[in-house]
Each structure stands twice: as C-alpha cells, then as structure tokens.
Structure 1
Amino acid sequence: MAKFTKKKKGELPPVSTASLPDIVFMLLFFFMTVTTMKDSELKVINELPYADQVQKLDKKDRIIYIYAGKPHERYRATYGSAAKVQLNDQLRDVKDVGAYILEERAGRRPEIQNVLTTALKVDKETNMGLISDIKQQLRDVNALKINYTTRVGEASQN
C-alpha cells in the first residue's frame, strides 16, 4: 500500500515566470524610444560665446549643425592649429559647406526641406573671416535661415 503525505500548510507556491519576457520586452522598448544617440564627436574646440537674449529652438529635426573652431590637441598634428569647419564627424574645408548643406537637405523629409535652419556652433575665439566665408557658402545654396548657438549669460563675459 502507498503512503500518502499531507501537504504542509506554510509552503509558498513557486514564482511564475510566464510574464517575464513581456516585462523584458516592455523595458527594452521603453529604453529604445527614450534614448538619444550621440550626434557627432566634437573635433574642434567649441567654447560658445555668451548672449543675454537667447531663444531655444523647438524642433531638432529641422536643424543642420556646423561647428567651427581650432582643432583639439589630438588632431592638431594632422590638421594644424588654424580654425577649421567640422561637418558631421569630419574636419573639412569651407568650400565643402555648400555641398554638405545640399546633401543634408536631400536626406530630410520633403515637407521640411524648405524650413531647415543652419545652426552655427562657433568657438568664441574663431576669426570672423571664417564665419563670413561659411555664410557666403550658405548664401550660394540658398540656406538663409541661420542660427548662432550661444550660452546664456552677459555679453560682457566674452
């Protein structure tokens, strides 16, 4: 004859892991939607000037960034110490700015191609002649909406 044992009343039931994949995928989806990727590695010194009247741009998908300044020390052996223009992750010549803007404009959605803003992030020690050359290249490709990126503060701090 078989022996029957009685269940102990204090035992806890095992933890159900049936919903674990749902939780993992929900967390994965959450972090994929809220995480932003780094746009580009800054290869130029970029200490922005101060300004007292500043407005924030609201739609980031309508902005094309151009960085200008002296190269960092790790790039000076290759590019020299004169101020350079950084387009995406490459230090380029000023004459390449027009082609870069046309390429970026072509890669955007057709409905926002005419409302793109070019944001210049220029180091405060950069020569105004370089900025003037960049602006001339922008005029040549009809990119007339220009924004100068600054830090909030008094202009006397520059």
Structure 2
Amino acid sequence: MSKFKKKKGGDLPAISTASLPDIVFMLLFFFMVATVMRDNSTMVENVLPNATEIEKLKKDRTMFIYAGKPSEQYKNLGTEGRIQINDAFVNLDAIQPAVFEYIATLPEELKDRVVVGLKVDENTNAGIVSDVKQELREANALKIMYVTGQKKEE
C-alpha cells in the first residue's frame, strides 16, 4: 500500500463563507446610517413661497403645521384649503390640543421655547393662516416661523 494517493478529478475547493456575516452587517449598518426616515407625508399641495433672507433653525423644538389645497390623491375631500398636522387633516379646534400634545413630548428645558413652523402653500387663502395664528395665540404658542423656499438668483 502506498502512503500517498493521487487526487482523482481536480475538484475545486469550497468557497469560504466565513466573512459573509461581516459583509452583511457592514451593508446593513451603512443603509441604516444613510437612510433618512420621513416623519410626515404631505397631504396638501405645498409649493412654498420664495424668500431672499432665510435662516435655518434646529428642528428639536419645532412643530410643523401644513396648509394648502388637498393634493391629487385627496381631491375627493374638495379643493378648499385644508390644515394638516402630522399625517391627518384637522379642523381649527384641533390645533390647540395638538400643540399641547407636542409640548408634552418635549424635554422640560424646551417646553417654553417651542416654535411652530407654518408650511403654507403660496396659493392658500390668507384667512386660513390668520385663523391658525389665532388658535396658536390662544394656545400660547407665540413663536411662529414661516417656512419658505430660497429664491433663485437671476
């Protein structure tokens, strides 16, 4: 008998899968870091008016209220201007409870510094904006900012 046997049929060695979990977790981590989650889906038309002097604020203490005509997929609700908070259309009387609910979720040091951001479509009736501002006054949310787009230089 011989000690060494000749290999029969030149089979290829199996592919090592030892590093596969590392690659999968690296890709998972990359997509978790690179993906941005959208908080709200806009249910109203929202073409923001342009402005020349704008300033960017932190969103840690900002609540957003949208106003405008319902978008194409919500045309069955009419063409009259509507108010949206989070992912729902609301009436004027729901603005104050929504503000109080948002303030309750903030840390104690930010509760008195809450800012309400109004994202109002440029074709929205000014009466809706005035009514929203009146409701915000009654809720003692006096810091209001108007969100605009940046005017393109010509």
Which TM-score bucket, shorter chain as reference?
0.7 to 0.9
2:73 equivalent in structure 1: 74
Could you tell me the TM-score, scaled by structure 1's length? 0.82
2:48 equivalent in structure 1: 48
Q: Secondary structure at the match of 1:60?
A: coil
2:33 equivalent in structure 1: 33
The 2-side partners of 1:14 and 1:114 are apart by 65
1:143 aligns with 2:149: no
What is the percentage of aligned positions where both structures have the same residue?
49
Give CA deviations for 1:28-60 in whole Å, capped at 9, x if unaligned: 233223322122221111111111111112x22
User: Kindly tell me: are residues 74 and 30 of structure 1, through their superposed partners in 2, closer, same or farther at Cα, counting changes over 3 Å?
Assistant: closer
Structure 1 runs of 4+ off > 4 angstroms? Answer: 12-15
Question: Please, which runs of 5 or more residues in structure 2 have no aligned partner?
Answer: none
Letter in 2 for 1:75: Y
Letter in 1 for 2:108: P
The 1-side partners of 2:107 and 2:25 are apart by 30
Q: Secondary structure at the match of 2:60?
A: helix
The 2-side partners of 1:144 and 1:19 are apart by 57
1:99 equivalent among 78, 90, 97: 97
2:19 equivalent in structure 1: 19
CA RMSD in angstroms, aligned pairs only: 2.3
- Once the two structures are TM-superposed, the CA of residue 6 in structure 1 deviates from its matched residue by 6.8
The 2-side partners of 1:130 and 1:100 are apart by 17
Question: Please, which runs of 5 or more residues in structure 1 have no aligned partner?
Answer: none
1:61 equivalent in structure 2: 60
1:85 equivalent in structure 2: 83
1:111 equivalent in structure 2: 109
The 2-side partners of 1:145 and 1:41 are apart by 24
The 1-side partners of 2:60 and 2:99 are apart by 14
The 2-side partners of 1:26 and 1:105 are apart by 38
Q: Secondary structure at the match of 2:84?
A: strand
Letter in 1 for 2:89: L
Could you tell me the TM-score, scaled by structure 2's length? 0.84
- Once the two structures are TM-superposed, the CA of residue 111 in structure 1 deviates from its matched residue by 2.9
